[in-house]
Amino acid sequence: MQILINILQTCSLYLIVAISYAIIYFVAKFFHIAHAAVITIAPYFVFLFSQQCGLSLFVALPLAILFAVLLGLITEQFVYKPLRKYNVQPFTILIASLGLYVVLQNIISMVWGDATLSIRVSEVKIGLNIFGAYITAIQIITIAVSATTFISSIIFFSYTNLGMNMRAVSSNTELANIFGISSNQIIFWAFALGSAFAAIAGILVAFDTDMRPTIGFSLFLYGVVAIIIGGIGSHWGLLFASLLLATAQHLGAYYIDSKWMDAIAYLILIIFLIFKPFGFSGQRLKKIEL
Amino acid sequence: MEYLFHILIMILIYVMLSQSLTLAAGYSGLISLAHAGFYGIGAYTSTILTVYYGFPFLFVLPIAILLTGIIAIIVSLISLRTVDDYFIIITLGIQVVAFSIMNNWMHLTNGPLGISGIPFISILGFAIKSKISFLFLTLFLAVLIYMILRNVTNSPFGRILIALSEDEIFVKSLGKNVYQAKVISFTLGGMFAAIPGVLYAHYISYIDPTSFTVDESIFILSIVIIGGMRSLWGSALAAAILVILPEALRFIGMPSNMAANMRQIIYGIALIFMMFKYRNGFMLS
């Protein structure tokens, strides 16, 4: 029972990261590795506002999310947008983004140090007892936020104007431009939304397990694995992929050892690439197999 | 003087690493983030064979190169199912798996504690103990790798690599075996990365997994990109500059942990600028 709750929590966390990243990738179509820095910096902003400036958590949380979104938008405006203007290949943007991630991560570790910091406000409580398993408040919040994110993201892409414009830009950028949808503007909004969800995921994971300057990177990589397995543009695919990833990792941790969690995630990715290169949704991922 | 030799040896190790990656990333366009993994496999193979079984250096070196080559073939067979940005992400994943194995397989690698007490290299009974003689050995191997890579890249095979990185389908239409050429160049790059790994292990006499992380892979790739992608001399120069950089920062009075961060920030910024410079693709200039 305890393992079920843990799987549910991990799955929820991966789902938020996967959705946050899928929104950006779906529209902009390149690997935005600096996304990992956005995930990392959000809890550090919470730490800055709530502990170093002494603001209450209700002010600090929205402020941190706002600043993380700003960071995401700055990367888009000053690095990706100028690069896109030259019609560069996607891997060129990927490497620039890698450089950006290195810069941001090192700035974080220069400012706040490499040691583990905590933004938890109260002592660790044992949590509620449900059917013989323990569940903490932050786990309940994670699961609730994730479910809200999932449902609102489906509604957003199917019914709102902006969501439909994003789908238009994603499926055919040039045609969307002809119809008067500015692709740069849509990508800007995608970055804003994606970064906001990323910040939420980063803050949730920091409340659960504290933070180091590298927390964002592994979380981001799990998100990427979930997206490649689940397929872009399919919400249910993302949900299944997160569930598969979380289940495999927790069962692996239970039966073998928790230190192999990283390796398990990538083994799943490799197995998928060999046997089912198009992911759950069966949608042809751009460029896999020439 | 010893300090100067130390810096020179470290520069040469990174020159070898970046030159081996230049073949894969620069010439055939296989931008790999798994290079520190191959470097680590070379280092761990030689360490385990030397420390636990007492094999001599001249036996250990070829074994390390061969084993890394076999692993590189397997890796390339998996990762070459994808191209471009997906290829980079897959090699990143393979790097994480490699690090995870080095960090967690306690029985074989002693995990995060690392393996210490790696003996001096001795060749036919002649022990290389002083830094200057180690420097000459490193220099000899670096020149050897440079000569081999120069010959490979100037050969007809090298021209196939350059062509396929620019237009793969066109090269295919000329009847060249693109897939095979990619596998060979990736594997060769991996095999050459084992040599600096072996040297590093014997030189520092202690290895642990933190020397072979994703950051190290990014660092090696940055050297290649800053060096101009397809230039063996350029990557040698970039390796020298990036290895000296933290020493220079420390010299002007920056605390050493900050100097390490500063170096990463500088090469991160350099990467972004290089991408603006290469926005039209990596053409031979």
pLDDT at res. A273: 75
Contact at CB, A262 and B96, closer than 8 angstroms: yes
When mean pLDDT is compared across A89-98, B55-64, B124-133, B260-269, the lowest value belongs to B124-133
Beta strand pairing call for A128-130 and A133-135: antiparallel
Residue A244, domain member (yes or no) = no
Top-confidence residue, A86 or A275: A86
Q: Which two tokens stand for residue B218?
A: 């990014």
The predicted model gives A41-57 an average pLDDT of 85
Top-confidence residue, B35 or A1: B35
pLDDT at res. A279: 55
List CB contacts of B189: < 8 A, sequence separation 6 or more.
Answer: B20, B21, B23, B24, B25, B30, B32, B35, B38, B72
The predicted model gives B44-57 an average pLDDT of 89
Q: How far apart are the C-alpha atoms of B155 and A108, rounded to whole Å?
A: 46
Residue A190, domain member (yes or no) = yes
Angle at A193 (CA atoms; ends A235, A74), nearest 5 degrees: 135
For residue A65, the distance in angstroms to the closest alpha carbon of chain B comes to 24
Q: pLDDT tens across A8-45, in order? A: 888 999 999 999 998 998 888 888 889 999 999 999 99
Q: Which of B83, B101, B276 lies nearest to residue A287, judging by beta carbons? A: B83
pLDDT score of B283 more than 60 = no
When mean pLDDT is compared across A141-145, A161-165, A217-221, A257-261, the lowest value belongs to A257-261
Q: How confident is the model at residue A58 (pLDDT cuts 50, 70, 90)?
A: confident
Q: How confident is the model at residue B281 (pLDDT cuts 50, 70, 90)?
A: low
Q: Answer whether B275 touches A (CB < 8 Å).
A: yes
User: Which residue in B71, B79, B97 has the most chain A C-beta atoms within 10 A of its own C-beta, making it the best mutation to test that interface?
Assistant: B97
Find where tokens 């995930």 sit: A39
For residue A33, the distance in angstroms to the closest alpha carbon of chain B comes to 10
- The count of structural domains within chain A is 1
pLDDT at res. B149: 92
Residue A280, domain member (yes or no) = no
Taking contacts as CB-CB distances below 8 angstroms, the residues of chain A near B268 are: 99-103, 106
Cβ proximity of A234 and A281 under 8 Å: yes
Residue A67, domain member (yes or no) = yes
Residue A252, domain member (yes or no) = no
Q: What is the DSSP string of B146-193?
A: HHHHHHHHHSHHHHHHHHHHH-HHHHHHTT--HHHHHHHHHHHHHHHH
Q: How many CB atoms lie within 10 A of CB A70?
A: 14
Q: Answer whether B259 touches A (CB < 8 Å).
A: no
Q: How far apart are the C-alpha atoms of B284 and B41, rounded to whole Å?
A: 32
Chain B residue with the nearest C-alpha to that of A98: B268
Burial of B81 (0-12, 13-18, 19+ CB in 10 A): middle
Q: How far is CA A2 from CA A6, A134, A254, in A?
A: 6, 7, 11
Q: Which of B85, B93, B101 lies nearest to residue A30, judging by beta carbons? A: B85
Contact at CB, A266 and B276, closer than 8 angstroms: no
Q: How confident is the model at residue B145 (pLDDT cuts 50, 70, 90)?
A: very high
Q: Answer whether B81 touches A (CB < 8 Å).
A: yes
Beta strand pairing call for A128-130 and B121-123: unpaired
pLDDT at res. B271: 87
Q: How confident is the model at residue A289 (pLDDT cuts 50, 70, 90)?
A: very low
B255: Cα within 13 Å, side-chain hemisphere: 3
Is residue A87 left, alpha or beta, with left meaning phi > 0 and alpha meaning psi from -120 to 50? left
The boundaries of the domain holding residue A188 are 10-218
When mean pLDDT is compared across A124-128, A226-230, B27-31, B158-162, the lowest value belongs to A124-128
Cβ proximity of A20 and A195 under 8 Å: yes
Q: How many CB atoms lie within 10 A of CB B33?
A: 26
pLDDT at res. A17: 92
The predicted model gives A61-74 an average pLDDT of 92
Find where tokens 């620039």 sit: A96
Residue A180, domain member (yes or no) = yes
Q: How confident is the model at residue A278 (pLDDT cuts 50, 70, 90)?
A: low
Cβ proximity of B272 and A79 under 8 Å: yes
The predicted model gives A100-109 an average pLDDT of 91
Q: pLDDT tens across A218-227, in order? A: 889 888 888 8
Report which of B177, B191, B181 is spatially closest to residue B153, judged by C-alpha positions: B181
Note which residues in 219-238 of chain A have CB less than 8 A from chain B.
221, 224-225, 228
> Which neighbouring-strand residues pair with A135?
A128
For residue B68, the distance in angstroms to the closest alpha carbon of chain A comes to 19
List CB contacts of A214: < 8 A, sequence separation 6 or more.
Answer: A40, A105
Find where tokens 């019609």 sit: A87
Q: pLDDT tens across B213-226, in order? A: 888 999 999 999 88
pLDDT score of A124 more than 70 = no
Q: pTM of whole model > 0.80?
A: yes
Q: How confident is the model at residue B37 (pLDDT cuts 50, 70, 90)?
A: very high
Contact at CB, B275 and A103, closer than 8 angstroms: no
Cβ proximity of B91 and B32 under 8 Å: yes
Q: How confident is the model at residue B127 (pLDDT cuts 50, 70, 90)?
A: confident
Angle between helix axes A2-28 and A35-47 (nearest 10 degrees) is: 120
Q: What is the DSSP string of A45-107?
A: HHHIIIIIS---HHHHHHHHHHHHHHHHHHHIIIIIHHHHTTT--HHHHHHHHHHHHHHHHHH
Taking contacts as CB-CB distances below 8 angstroms, the residues of chain B near A110 are: 258, 261-262, 265
pLDDT at res. A175: 86
For residue B58, the distance in angstroms to the closest alpha carbon of chain A comes to 33
Contact at CB, A100 and B268, closer than 8 angstroms: yes
Q: How many CB atoms lie within 10 A of CB A58?
A: 9
Q: Answer whether A83 touches B (CB < 8 Å).
A: yes
Mean pLDDT of chain A: 84
Q: Answer whether B96 touches A (CB < 8 Å).
A: yes
